[in-house]
């Protein structure tokens, strides 16, 4: 198995290898049983558009609203969302999206409508050379617009709200930005702190110690575990076990 040469940074070829390996492994392992209590991944797809490619992981959205105390963490942010500019060249396109969202309007789950989905798009940042996450809710009934209220009430797991707040969290903040391919408004984790988060998660890794370096797939699993958990993207237990098993087999151990 090929190893990441300059951890925590990835090249385009290393990223391509990582997402291809994850997709292949996902479809080779049996799905988790429903009684496992997990919210499983429904699909893992590699999307190629406009000369680039990225990984999309799709899950069902757990449509439970958290407590009013939790919602108060984002009080004052619900009605106004600032789109994060993607680069200095696009800074002149920074706009503010004003969402009129009545606090008394509750998102009503209608059993006649299909289960809403959440799509996590993983791309390689050309500026930071680390994976970057864009995510959005897909719902035919349009009950979950890309607002901070929806983000904190329906997407971010309970207990992780503080870590995702811009300026005070460990992630660099979750904002709303234009998707670089579709141009649709989506949630976005800024990658400015990704390298330091990965380094803190893997103090044992050294570029001078090959046995302690990560292969491409293990890097991606590490990144999902370190960054995705804050926004509802966890590595399924069976997938994590399969990655560990493949690594042991690749190293000739049992």
The confidence score (pLDDT) of residue 167 equals 57
7 in a structural domain: no
Report the C-alpha gap between 244 and 95 in whole angstroms. Answer: 44
5 in a structural domain: no
Coil vs helix vs strand at 228: helix
126 by Cβ neighbours in 10 Å (0-12 / 13-18 / 19+) ranks as exposed
2 in a structural domain: no
3 in a structural domain: no
The total domain count for the chain is 1
In tens, the pLDDT along 39-59 reads 789 999 999 998 899 999 999
168 by Cβ neighbours in 10 Å (0-12 / 13-18 / 19+) ranks as exposed
- Quickly count: other Cβ atoms within 10 Å of residue 128's Cβ: 17
Position with higher pLDDT, 83 vs 8: 8
In tens, the pLDDT along 59-83 reads 999 765 543 333 333 344 333 333 4
What is the value of pTM for the model shown?
0.77
How many Å separate Cα 43 from the centre of its chain? 14
Percent of the chain at pLDDT exceeding 70: 68
51 in a structural domain: yes
In tens, the pLDDT along 135-155 reads 999 999 999 999 999 999 999
The confidence score (pLDDT) of residue 94 equals 34
Contacts of 29 (CB under 8 A, 6+ apart): 238, 239, 242
186 in a structural domain: yes
- 122-136, 172-186, 195-209: the lowest-pLDDT one: 195-209
157 in a structural domain: yes
Report the C-alpha gap between 21 and 158 in whole angstroms. Answer: 31
The confidence score (pLDDT) of residue 159 equals 80
Q: How confident is the model at residue 244 (pLDDT cuts 50, 70, 90)?
A: confident
DSSP H helices in the chain: 12-26, 68-71, 148-150, 194-201, 216-227, 237-250
Q: How confident is the model at residue 112 (pLDDT cuts 50, 70, 90)?
A: low
Contacts of 128 (CB under 8 A, 6+ apart): 9, 191, 192, 194, 195
Q: 92 is in which domain, residue-wise?
A: 12-250
Token duo for residue 56: 């999309």
The confidence score (pLDDT) of residue 105 equals 42
Integer Rg of the chain from CA: 19
6 in a structural domain: no
DSSP state at residue 154: I
Position with higher pLDDT, 100 vs 201: 201
The confidence score (pLDDT) of residue 212 equals 60
């Amino acid at each position: 198995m090929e190893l990441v040469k300059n951890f925590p940074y990835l090249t385009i070829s290393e990223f391509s290898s990582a997402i291809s390996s994850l997709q292949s492994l996902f479809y080779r392992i049996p799905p988790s049983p429903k009684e496992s209590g997990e919210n499983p991944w429904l699909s893992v797809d590699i999307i190629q558009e406009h000369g680039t490619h990225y990984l999309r992981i799709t899950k069902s959205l757990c449509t439970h609203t958290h407590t009013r105390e939790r919602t108060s963490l984002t009080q004052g942010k619900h009605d106004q969302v600032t789109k994060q500019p993607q680069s200095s060249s696009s800074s002149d396109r920074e706009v503010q999206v004003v969402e009129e969202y009545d606090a008394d309007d509750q998102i009503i789950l209608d059993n006649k409508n299909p289960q809403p989905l959440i799509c996590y798009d993983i791309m390689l940042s050309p500026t930071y050379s680390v994976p970057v996450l864009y995510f959005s809710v897909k719902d035919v009934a349009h009950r979950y617009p890309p607002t901070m209220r929806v983000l904190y009430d329906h997407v971010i797991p309970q207990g992780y709200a503080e870590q995702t707040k811009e300026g005070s969290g460990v992630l660099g903040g979750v904002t709303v930005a234009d998707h670089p391919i579709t141009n649709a408004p989506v949630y976005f984790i800024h990658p400015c702190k990704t390298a330091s988060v990965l380094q803190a998660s893997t103090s044992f890794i050294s570029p001078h110690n090959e046995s302690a370096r990560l292969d491409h797939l293990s890097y991606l699993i590490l990144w999902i575990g370190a960054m995705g958990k804050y926004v509802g993207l966890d590595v399924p237990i069976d997938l994590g076990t399969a990655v560990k098993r493949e690594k042991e087999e690749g190293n000739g151990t049992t």
